[in-house]
Amino acid sequence: MDIILASKNKGKAKEIRKMLDNIDINVVTMEEIGIEIDIEETGSTFEENAIIKAEAVKNFIIENKENLSSFIILADDSGLEIDALDKMPGIYSSRYLGEDTPYEEKNKQILDKIKDEENRTARFVCAIALAKDNMDTVVVRGTVEGNIGYVARGNNGFGYDPIFYVGEKSFAEIEPEEKNKVSHRSMALNKIKQEIEKLL
């Protein structure tokens, strides 16, 4: 069985493949199987956006008369909530300061905005939706609590990882194997794995 990942984010796809490698399934991205659609994320929560993405891909496949029975569609919506910024960037994490703005610049601007803040609590949130023909879409959430550091550190990971600290290390300093045990995405994936296994 194939899982179609409703994402163009290669870093995310790599992480999800690694975390699901103990299940007998093949994870492919939309791009890899030629699905080219722009999905407008109009939800007001991570869960709503994950469902919108999963169902958009499901509907595209149905409309193009492809056989959906051998596919499971996974969509995730994730982001960083910073308490000192009223939980921003939140659901706008990928679009924050413009989609084409490099994360190095986004991270720099966030650190500058909260440089005098004592409250640096933050969390990464991940909602994952699973869609398949003849069933209601299922959605789960994973969260990891941490703090925004004073400097960006590390070369692992992607996105906001260099400024998000759990303990003494940023997410970008943690080895990928270690991160995959504690991340928001791994927590959500562990929950969704149970749903996938029911379908195999």
Q: Are 81 and 125 in contact (CB under 8 A)?
A: yes
What is the tens place of the pLDDT at every residue in 83-108?
999 999 999 999 999 989 999 999 99
Confidence band (pLDDT; 50, 70, 90) for 117?
very high
**pLDDT at residue 9 is higher than 80:** no
What is the tens place of the pLDDT at every residue in 19-66?
888 888 888 888 888 888 989 999 999 999 999 999 999 999 888 866
Distance CA 43, CA 27 (A): 25
- Cα–Cα distances (Å) from 57 to 8, 67, 73, 146, in that order, read 12, 13, 7, 33
Question: Quick one: pLDDT at residue 114?
Answer: 98
Q: Are 16 and 5 in contact (CB under 8 A)?
A: yes
Confidence band (pLDDT; 50, 70, 90) for 67?
low
DSSP 3-state of 148: strand
Cβ contacts of 200 within 8 Å, gap of 6 or more: 1, 23, 24, 25
Question: Quick one: pLDDT at residue 177?
Answer: 85
Strand partners, 3: 27, 72
Strand partners, 166: 169
Q: Are 57 and 34 in contact (CB under 8 A)?
A: no
Mean pLDDT computed over every residue of the chain:
91
* Residue 77 a catalytic site member: yes
**pLDDT at residue 180 is higher than 90:** no
Question: Which pTM value belongs to this model?
Answer: 0.90
Q: Walk me through the domains of the chain, giving residue ranges and CATH numbers.
A: 2-199 (3.90.950.10)
How many beta carbons lie within 10 A of that of residue 145, not counting itself?
11
Question: Quick one: pLDDT at residue 162?
Answer: 98
Distance CA 50, CA 127 (A): 6
Distance CA 63, CA 48 (A): 22
Question: Quick one: pLDDT at residue 122?
Answer: 99
- Residue in 2, 38, 76, 77 annotated catalytic: 77
Question: Quick one: pLDDT at residue 69?
Answer: 67
Question: Quick one: pLDDT at residue 68?
Answer: 61
Question: Quick one: pLDDT at residue 36?
Answer: 87
Write out the two tokens for 158.
């992607």
Instruction: Name the residue with higher pLDDT: 169 or 158.
Output: 169
